[in-house]
Amino acid sequence: MNQGNSRTVSSNQTGVHPDLSVLLERHCTKPWRRPVARHSLEIFEQVLPQLQQAADGLILDAGCGTGDSSRHLAGQYPDSLIVAVDQSGHRLQRQRSLPEPDNLLLLRADLQDFWRLLHDGGFRLQRHFLFYPNPWPKKRHIQRRWHGHPVLPWLLALGGVLEVRSNWLVYVEEFAFVLNKLGVEACKEPVQAPGVSPFERKYALSGQTLYRLQADLRAAAIPVPGPRVFPVADHTTG
C-alpha cells in the first residue's frame, strides 16, 4: 500500500445527505429480502460453535481488510473473541510472520449477509468496530454507505459499543445523524493516536484529520424489519 500520499475525500456533498431520514425510515420498516450468499452462510455455519462458546464476549471488526486492526484488538481484549470479517480474500490472506492470536477468527464473508446471520442467530456484540469503511462520497451513492444501506438495522441491532472511524467528516456526521434519529447518543472526536489499521496509518501519514464516532447500543431498541429466514443464493463475494 502506498504510504503518505493519500488524497482527502472529495465529494459533491458537504453535509448530511438530504434523503437520509427517508432512507432510514424505509430501511427500518420495509422488509429487505436480499438473499444470503451460500458462501457467507457456509462460513457462518462453520464457525457457529466458536461463536456460541464465546457468545458473551464477541467483538466484530467489520471490513477488517488485512486484519491488522483485529490482531491489535485481540491483544487489547484477550478475554474476548475477535471476529474479523472482510469480503476480500486477497487482503485477508496476506502472509504473516507471527502466529495468529488464539482469540482471533479471520473470516471471508459479505457483511451484508454476516450481520444478518449473526443477528438472527441470536448473537449480540460486546464491541463493534468499523475502521474506515469505503466512504462512497458521491451523493448518488448514499445507499452504499453503511448508514444509508438497507442492512443498517441489523448492524445496529447487534448492540454493543459501536466505534466507526473515517477520514471523511460527513461520514461520521451522517452516522451520528441516523443514530440520533433512532434515539441513540453518539459522540464524535478526532482520532488522537492514529495507527490501528493500514488505512488509518496511510491517511495519518498523509496529514489527514481522522474522525471517530462512538455509541453505546447495549440498551438501544433498534427496529429490524425482517424477514427472519433469508433465501440463499449462489452469488459469491469479491
Ligand X SMILES: C[S@@+](CC[C@H](N)C(=O)[O-])C[C@H]1O[C@@H](n2cnc3c(N)ncnc32)[C@H](O)[C@@H]1O
Chain residues binding ligand X by CB under 6 A are 63-65, 69, 85-88, 91, 110-112, 131-134, 197-200
DSSP-assigned letters across all residues of 141-187:
GGGGSGGGSTTHHHHHHT-SEEEEEES-HHHHHHHHHHHHHTT--EE
Q: Which is nearer to ligand X, 160 or 198 (CB)?
A: 198
Report the alpha-carbon distance of residue 173 to residue 209 in Å, rounded: 14
Report the alpha-carbon distance of residue 164 to residue 135 in Å, rounded: 12
Shortest distance in whole angstroms from residue 20 CB to ligand X:
20
Q: Which is nearer to ligand X, 24 or 64 (CB)?
A: 64
Q: Which is nearer to ligand X, 96 or 218 (CB)?
A: 96
Q: Which is nearer to ligand X, 28 or 37 (CB)?
A: 37
Torsion angle (degrees, nearest 10) of CA 36, 40, 46, 52: -70
Helix, strand, coil content of the chain in percent (nearest 5): 35, 20, 45
Q: Which is nearer to ligand X, 123 or 132 (CB)?
A: 132
DSSP-derived letter for residue 79 is: T
Shortest distance in whole angstroms from residue 93 CB to ligand X:
12
Q: Which is nearer to ligand X, 138 or 218 (CB)?
A: 138
Q: Which is nearer to ligand X, 8 or 53 (CB)?
A: 8
Shortest distance in whole angstroms from residue 117 CB to ligand X:
12
Shortest distance in whole angstroms from residue 237 CB to ligand X:
6
Q: Based on the number of CB atoms within 10 Å of its own CB, is 101 exposed (0-12), middle (13-18) or buried (19 or more)?
A: middle
The rounded Cα 140 to chain-centroid distance in angstroms is 21
Please tell me whether residue 52 adopts helix, strand or coil conformation. Answer: helix
Shortest distance in whole angstroms from residue 81 CB to ligand X:
18
Shortest distance in whole angstroms from residue 91 CB to ligand X:
5
DSSP-derived letter for residue 7 is: P
Shortest distance in whole angstroms from residue 39 CB to ligand X:
11
Q: Could you give the maximum distance between any two Cα atoms of the chain, in Å?
A: 48
* Lookup: cell for 50: 466458536
